Amino acid sequence: MDLEYSVNSLKAASDPTRLRLLALLAAGESMVGELQEVLDQSQPRVSRHLRILAEGGLADSFRDGQNVYYCLPADPSARAFVSVLIGRMPVDEPVLAADRDRMVDVRRKRARSAWSGKDALLATAPRDPADGGRVDGLTDALAELPDQLGDVLDVGSGTGTVLCQLARRADRVTGVDISPAMRVVARTRVREAGFSNCTLRQGDMHELPLEDSSFDTVLLDQVLSLTDRPRPAIREAARVLKPDGLMLILDRVGMPGSTQPIEGLAENQLAVMLAESGLRLQKRRELPGRLPGFALLSAVTTNEL
């Protein structure tokens, strides 16, 4: 930080309400309505404080569907500055502890409301994200990958089950899902799990709202078997993957030459589609679970396109 930036940041943070907001944002992104409910202040007042934090370089905002979310900036120096400010206060500081508890209550209430429409939710994403069978053995499978996954994209993040697995080994994880209800539940899950390096965004696998070559690892999280257009989904995933990145596919994938019917993809078809996007299928790791054919596959760039 230069001198002027530091002075502006100090001014922005020099207010009890704004310090409380920074402590809440340090634990994960939140929308204005949630922050308003936690702080028990009016929406205009909370929005004003957030605007001051943003002008001081201590908060960013983004739109997710109909809602605006606030988070800490990606800038490491700004995050370190906030960490120092929060770190100077006791962990059990009464006001901040009460804010954390209220945020848990607010998030759980919203998650319960979102999940109450389970039938409608599953119609937009026909799988049961609460079914642990689909991720049995995933921790062991991820342990075979590089120690650090870098910046990770989880396409089809659902309610965040796999997102939390990735967050343990990533610098930052972006979860993309088309369902607003899924994203509400996922935000609750990652916050309660203590992962502040996660963000959830609205997006379609066929048209990701993300820049080219921006992720070290991209996971297609049980989405290819749910679309009748897997090729453009793979192309989009390859577009946002860095040239030396790692592509992961978690899905039901039939083994080459297998006579067992799988309601998913055939591995030879998948290999062809990956090759068309400059990727080479590298490894398959079977995942024990309730459904046959569940596997984690990895692919790397071929540098031939």
Question: Residues 212-261: pLDDT tens digits?
Answer: 999 999 999 999 988 989 999 999 999 999 999 999 999 988 876 555 54
- The torsion of the CA quartet 37, 42, 45, 47, rounded to 10 degrees, works out to 50
Rg of the Cα trace of the chain?
21
Please tell me the total count of domains within the chain.
2
Residues whose CB falls within 8 Å of the CB of residue 60, separated by 6 or more in sequence, listed in order: 54, 70, 71, 72, 73, 74
In the chain, helix, strand, coil percent, each to 5?
45, 25, 30
pLDDT value, residue 118: 53
Query: Is the same domain home to 128 and 93?
Result: no
Distance, in Å, from the CA atom of 68 to the CA atom of 280, rounded to the nearest integer, reads: 39
Query: Is the same domain home to 254 and 175?
Result: yes
End of a domain among 60, 80, 115?
115
Query: Is the same domain home to 240 and 137?
Result: yes
Query: Is the same domain home to 182 and 100?
Result: no
Distance, in Å, from the CA atom of 39 to the CA atom of 8, rounded to the nearest integer, reads: 24
Query: Is the same domain home to 291 and 152?
Result: yes
The CATH number linked to 167 is 3.40.50.150
Residues whose CB falls within 8 Å of the CB of residue 219, separated by 6 or more in sequence, listed in order: 152, 153, 154, 155, 162, 166, 248, 249, 250
In the numeric block, which tokens belong to residue 84? 């120092």
Walking along the chain (305 residues) 10 residues at a time, the average pLDDT comes out as 81 94 96 96 96 95 92 91 91 93 93 69 41 59 85 95 91 94 92 93 95 97 91 96 95 70 75 94 82 86 67
End of a domain among 95, 115, 135?
115
pLDDT value, residue 254: 80
Query: Is the same domain home to 8 and 154?
Result: no
- Give the burial class of 256: count Cβ atoms within 10 A of its Cβ; 0-12 exposed, 13-18 middle, 19 or more buried: exposed
Query: Is the same domain home to 173 and 228?
Result: yes
The CATH number linked to 88 is 1.10.10.10
pLDDT value, residue 122: 44
End of a domain among 83, 115, 147?
115
**Which residues on neighbouring strands pair with residue 153, listed in sequence order?**
174, 218
Q: Coil, strand or helix: which one is 173?
A: strand
Query: Is the same domain home to 132 and 185?
Result: yes
Evaluated on CA atoms 212, 215, 216, 219, the torsion sign reads negative
Q: Give the residue numbers spanning the domain of 295.
A: 124-301
Return the ∠ at Cα 176 (arms to 170 and 178), rounded to 5°.
160
Half-sphere exposure of 276 (CA within 13 A, CB side): 14
Query: Is the same domain home to 148 and 177?
Result: yes
Q: Under a CB-based contact definition with an 8 Å cutoff, are residues 221 and 154 in contact?
A: yes
Residues whose CB falls within 8 Å of the CB of residue 99, separated by 6 or more in sequence, listed in order: 20, 23, 24, 38, 39
pLDDT value, residue 257: 59
Query: Is the same domain home to 133 and 271?
Result: yes
* Other CB atoms within 10 A of residue 107 CB: 21
Query: Is the same domain home to 22 and 106?
Result: yes
Query: Is the same domain home to 27 and 55?
Result: yes
Entry pTM: 0.86
